[in-house]
Chain A
Amino acid sequence: MQRGIRVLSALLEARTGQVLSPERGWRVETALKPILRAHGLQDIGILAAHLTRYRDPRLEIEVVDALLNNESSFFRDPQIFEMIRQQILPHIRARKQDRRLRVWSAGCSTGQEAYSLAIQLCNDVEVWDRWRVEILATDISATAIARARDGIFPQIDVQRGLSINDLLKWFEPVADGWRASAQLRAMIDFRQDNLFNPRAPGGGYDLLLCRNVMLYFTQERRQKVFDLLARHSHDHSVLLLGAGETAMGHGDPFVAHPEFRGAYRRPPVQPLYVDGPMGPAV
């Protein structure tokens, strides 16, 4: 049993960077029950032995998927979304001459974070009217991404965080819950992608969200993710993490944002010379 858990957590860490903390150990059995049943395996020890012997890639993916914590909700931490709408987006808008807004929801799970942003932008249609809005949403879990793309959420999910007006406006009832409107779905580019082996399109994102993703990463892995996020940022980008997560102590790819509580930005470049008649020196 203990050996089984060790094998499984090694697999999880190799694939996702996540360390299975002892407190989460008890979850392993519950999480893997459906897989054990589906494959007719008696217990975790036997599953682990099976994985070690056959290295079945499909089963590996299933196991990793089941062990990931995909918890999410619409407008998770509502104050953050208020801050995005009322402060961060106007800040970005004022600095973008090209009328192009690029957002990246990294570790998006089943998509609630990206959909919440899309809803906000659609509700403020008069502001974003003539803008090109691109929302990229990535997650390592293929199952989560497939569900995010479908945009179908059970009743219990839409009730958490979504107002009834947004539900009526942006979702339609379907047999097994509520489906995000075609307009919302078309706004978001959902892609399966690993933060440690990224293939998703690069470039500078204006707003980056990587919330409740790095919780179970080692310090070294977090550093890698911050470096990746920094490579996809520009001078005015804003980075948001989950409540209780911090970018401090990870070198200096990001510093606390001077204006937005709990947000981060790249450290401002120190100009070598003061602006002179020739314009700013770099």
Chain B
Amino acid sequence: MKNCLVVDDSKVIRKVARHILESLDLSVREAVDGQDALIQCEESSPDVVLLDWNMPVMSGMEFLQALSSARIETRPKVIFCTTENGIGHIKAAVEAGADEYVMKPFDRETLESKLAIVGVI
């Protein structure tokens, strides 16, 4: 079973994402901000990270930058998942190394298709 780390400061979003991901047969962990996510990735790297942009302590972009220099065996795929829908944000995220980008609100079909594109399902 593949692992997904859901990183979002909103409890509601984490719950919705968990529900969808579990229905796609992924095992799910949660992190409340970028720093929490980084620590969890260093402990044991997930296959994929679903990443919010705006979060206290450490934002999604800061997490992405930190991830590239972190001590991690295999870098997880990163799917940005955010309300920042402007093309500028999307380009910045892709340049910073995001593998995919989901604009909120999202649904099951969207997540399923993006997970397939990054090769996790």
Residues of A within 8 A of B (CB): 73, 78, 155-156, 159-161, 163-165, 167-168, 172-173
Report, nearest first, the 4 A-B pairs whose CB atoms are least far apart. A164-B101, A159-B110, A173-B87, A163-B117
Kindly provide the distance from the CB of A142 to the nearest chain B CB, expressed in whole angstroms. Answer: 27
Q: Are B110 and A160 in contact (CB under 8 A)?
A: yes
C-alpha spacing A161/B102, complex, angstroms: 11
B109 surroundings in chain A (CB, below 8 A) = 73, 160
B116, chain A: closest CB distance, angstroms: 6
B68-113: which residues lie under 8 A (CB-CB) from chain A? 85-87, 90-91, 94, 98-103, 106-107, 109-110, 113
Question: Is B103's CB under 8 angstroms from A168's CB?
Answer: no
- Chain B residues, CB < 8 A from A165: 94
Contact-residue bracket for chain B = 20 to 34
What would 11 A/B residue contacts be, using CB atoms closer than 8 Å? A73-B113, A159-B103, A160-B113, A163-B100, A163-B117, A164-B94, A168-B87, A168-B90, A168-B91, A168-B94, A173-B87
- Could you list which residues of chain B lie within 8 angstroms of chain A, going by C-beta atoms? 85-87, 90-91, 94, 98-103, 106-107, 109-110, 113-114, 116-117
- Inter-chain contacts of B106 with A (CB < 8 A): 159
Q: Is the CB of B90 within 8 A of A155?
A: no
CA distance A78 to B110 in the complex (A): 14
Establish whether residues A164 and B116, one from each chain, have CB atoms under 8 Å apart when the complex forms.
Answer: no
Determine how close the nearest CB of chain B comes to the CB of A122; give it in whole angstroms. Answer: 18
- Given A78-B116, A168-B94, A159:B102 Cβ within 8 A: yes
Measured CB to CB, the nearest residue on chain B to A75 is B113
Residues of A within 8 A of B114 (CB): 159
Q: Chain B contacts of A155 at CB under 8 A?
A: 85, 103
The smallest C-beta distance from B89 to any residue of chain A, in angstroms, reads 11
Docked CA distance A160–B109 (Å): 7
Distance in angstroms between the alpha carbons of A156 and B86 in the assembled complex: 14
Minimum C-beta distance from A112 to chain B (A)? 12
In the assembled complex, the Cα of A168 lies from the Cα of B102 at a distance in Å of 13
The answer to whether A161 and B113 touch (CB under 8 A), given A155-B85, A155-B103, A156-B107, is yes
Please indicate the chain B residues that have their CB under 8 angstroms from the CB of A164 in the complex.
90, 94, 98-101
* Closest B residue, CB atoms, query A76: B113
Give the docked Cα–Cα distance between A165 and B100 (Å): 8
Q: Give min CB distance, B51 to chain A, whole Å.
A: 13
Bound Cα distance A161, B111 (Å): 10
- Bound state CA distance, A196 and B100, in angstroms? 42
CB of B29 to closest CB in A, whole Å: 24
Of all chain B residues, which has the CB nearest A164?
Answer: B101
**CB closest residue in chain A, given B103:** A155
C-alpha gap A156/B109 in the complex (Å): 10
Complex: A167 Cα to B110 Cα, angstroms: 14
A200 to chain B, nearest CB (A): 31
A159 to B90, CA, bound (A): 13
Bound complex: CA A156 to CA B111 (Å): 11
Expressed in whole angstroms, the Cα–Cα distance for A73 and B101 within the complex equals 17
Measured in the bound complex, the distance between the Cα atoms of B116 and A172 in whole Å is: 24
Q: In the complex, what distance in Å separates the CA atom of A164 from the CA atom of B110? A: 12
| Cα–Cα, bound, A4→B46 (Å) | 55
- Give Cα A78 to B119, complex, Å: 12
Which chain A residues lie closer than 8 Å to B117 at the CB level? 78, 163
CA distance A167 to B87 in the complex (A): 10
Chain A contacts of B100 at CB under 8 A? 163-164
> Apart from A159-B110, A160-B113, A168-B90, what are 10 other A-B pairs with CB-CB below 8 Å?
A73-B109, A155-B85, A155-B103, A160-B110, A163-B100, A164-B94, A164-B101, A167-B90, A172-B87, A173-B87
**Chain A hits for B90, CB < 8 A:** 164, 167-168
Smallest Cβ distance from B95 to chain A, in angstroms?
Answer: 10
